[in-house]
Structure 1
Amino acid sequence: MHGILNINKPAGKTSRDVVNIIQRLMRPAKTGHAGTLDPLATGVLVCPVGHGTKLIEYIQRMPKTYEACFLLGRQSDTEDIEGNVQLLDDPPRPSRDEIEAVLLNYLGTIEQVPPAFSALKVAGKRAYDLARQGKEVELASREIEVYALEILAYDYPQLRMRIECGSGTYVRSLGRDIARDLGTEAIMSELMRTAIGCFQIDDAIHPDDQLSRGTLAAALQPTSLAVSQMPQVTVDHDKIVRLAQGKLIEVDVDTASQEVAAMTQAGQLVAVLVPGKEGGWRTARNFANDYL
């Protein structure tokens, strides 16, 4: 029971709720998730199982694609419709061309202040816990990557967009900042994650379907997908033995990358390698014993 599940999270469930459903069916194999979705959000939730849980950080690095709907001319403490929504008094109604012009400022590496209602920690406490207590929450801005922004539909006050971005991006805060550049405010009313790297929503399974241990096992995708964006090398049996023994190996890889995926001849993930001493490569994640 090692692999990766691509789940289509429904609205109203937390990411943890979905993991708990899978965990009950897959015990004793461990289960986790790579990239939290709020209860309001739907779409791709990647849930590694067994050895896959050791690869979560690599999945989290993958680019993410969202479709989001924002309502202009209103604001809320949570930056979405689940908070205390307030309508602005006679806000401007930007044209599509004005919105398109502002979007250009949000491509590439930008600074973003995360929302107060987030799981980030402030002095050891979750920001959303402090915000719910009515306390002032100040979060530092941080760099995020936005690869693409596209207006899918615009009929004031609804603005529907497609967003491709890197890890750590808060889509509702992106809508907030875009609206402020337009002289108004916005809250997020819908969010669907349509992809994380190679994991697409069209291939996702729904947790409300008639799931069983058997159906989940059949839906498991190989752990190699977690490192699909990493340079790869094929290792023979002798090198697999050395990796299982915790020894360095030599690999022929023409890359400046500091990480390489070691694969069997059949394309199965043996290990994630990082540079070791004297030009060799050592394991950062090691599954070599599975192939002996």
Structure 2
Amino acid sequence: MNGIINVLKPPGMTSQDVVSYVKRTLKEKKVGHTGTLDPGACGVLPICIGKATKIVDYIMNDKKTYICELTFGNETDTYDKYGKKLFNVDLNYENIDYTFFKNVTNSFKGKIIQVPPIFSSVKVNGKRAYELARQGIIPDINEREVIIYDINILSFTPPTAMLKVTCSKGTYIRSLCTDIGRKLGCRAYMSFLIRTQTGKFTLENSHILDEISLENIKKIAIRTDYALEMKNLYVDKKFYKNIINGNKFPISNFSEFKDNEKVKIYIEPDEFLAIGKIYNGNVLVEKLLV
């Protein structure tokens, strides 16, 4: 059994809970998710099955889109509504108008430096940060560079606002909401989160857990190659052994590709074998999918 299920993760489950559910339901050992969603969040969570688990990292690198709600006036230790508020009384947010809010949110577009929440799955000295935080230990989490491709204000009705955020892998929306609140001067925390898209996977083509079954798997599973946003490269069957053995091979239509561009390699007419990289007129096999 090979393929990808675009799961609509419900709130209250961890991403690993979803993986375990799929393993039990489909009686499949090789199952992996493509990017952690907070337990309280919901949304798109592509689940790879069988040989499709080999492309987990590629899907994780895709852009992601979220809709989140900020609540003004306080901050929590988890950066979301499930944590402990840091201020006994909410701070004043009445001087925050739409123009000021828009200017502040726009200032986070582009490459930014972000520190993940201490209650997160980031590893610190071999342990998850949240495990240390629950023991009362404040983990020393390294800052990271992430990209905010776009932020759109969907609503602004203090004490809350809704944002649509498109970002890179590794972005914590909880941290973004907290950083926005600090820059506003009134503090804020994330009170709702849904992931609406990751790569080609959207809410519209997602499936709830009840739809997953052995009888239904052929209807809802997606081909492994569909998930990869790369150009197709069709090659003659004479290069089959080169591909299987991980050896480079030349291509005649090199001008159609950029150097270092990743491609999906097919043996003509339509047998998907591997992911490769174009380099100096040759194809280097990067990941074998058979």
TM-score by length of 1: 0.91
- Secondary structure (helix, strand or coil) at the match of 1:151 reads strand
Contact 1:59 1:226 survives alignment (8 Å): yes
The answer to whether the Cα contact below 8 Å between 1:44 and 1:200 also exists between their aligned partners in 2 is yes
Is 1:117 matched up with 2:119? yes
Whole-Å Cα distance in 2 between the matches of residues 49 and 164 of structure 1?
26
1:1-292 aligned at under 5 Å gives the runs 1-87=1-87, 88-93=89-94, 94-207=96-209, 209-228=210-229, 230-251=230-251, 252-253=253-254, 254-274=257-277, 280-287=282-289, 290=290
For residue 247 of structure 2, what is the amino acid of its counterpart?
Answer: K
Indicate the RMSD between aligned Cα atoms, in angstroms: 1.9
Structure 2 residue matching 1:179: 3-state secondary structure: helix
In structure 2, C-alpha distance between the alignment counterparts of 1:149 and 1:44, rounded to whole Å: 19
Deviates more, 1:231-240 or 1:154-163: 231-240
**1:222 maps to amino acid:** R
Aligned to 1:117, what secondary structure does the other structure show? coil
User: What is the TM-score with the length of structure 2 in the denominator?
Assistant: 0.92
Quick one: distance in 2 between partners of 1:89 and 1:29? 48
Distance apart, 1:261 and its partner CA? 1.9
Tell me how far apart the structure 1 counterparts of residues 158 and 217 of structure 2 sit (CA, whole Å).
Answer: 42
Measure, in 1, the Cα distance between the counterparts of 2:19 and 2:64: 20
Residues 193-250 of structure 1: per-residue CA shift (max 9 Å, x gap): 000011011110001x25311212321111112322x233111222223312433211
1:231-287 C-alpha deviation (Å, 9 max, x unpaired): 3311122222331243321123321225322124455531111367x8643322113
CA 1:190/1:266 → structure 2, altered by over 3 Å: closer, same or farther? farther
Query: In the aligned structure 1, how far is the partner of 2:148 from the partner of 2:43?
Result: 19
- Alpha-carbon shift at residue 127 of structure 1 (Å): 0.8
Matched to 1:130, the amino acid is: L
C-alpha contact 2:25 2:213 (8 A) present in aligned 1: yes
SS in 2 for 1:32: strand
Counterpart secondary structure, 1:119:
coil
Count of residue pairs brought into register by the alignment: 285
CA contact (8 A) 2:237 2:268 kept: no
Given that 1:231 and 1:255 are in contact with CA atoms closer than 8 Å, whether structure 2 keeps it comes out as no
Q: Give distance in 2, aligned partners of 1:226 and 1:171.
A: 24
Instruction: Give, as a single letter, the amino acid of the residue that structure 2 aligns with 1:136.
Output: I
Question: In structure 2, what is the Cα distance between the partners aligned to 1:157 and 1:268?
Answer: 54
Give the C-alpha shift of residue 49 in structure 1: 0.7
Take 1:224 and 1:31, find their aligned partners in 2: how far apart are those partners?
17
Change (3 A) 1:210 1:112: closer
Q: Where does the alignment leave 5 or more consecutive residues of structure 2 unmatched?
A: none
Q: Is the 8 A contact 1:31 1:53 kept in 2?
A: yes
Equivalent residues of 1:224, 1:268 under 8 A apart: no
Q: How many angstroms apart in 1 are the aligned matches of 2:70 and 2:172?
A: 13
Gaps of 5+ in 1: none
> What is the rounded CA distance, in whole Å, between the counterparts of 1:28 and 1:12 in structure 2?
23
Matched residues in 2 for 1:27 and 1:35: separation?
A: 22
Q: Give identity over the alignment, percent.
A: 34
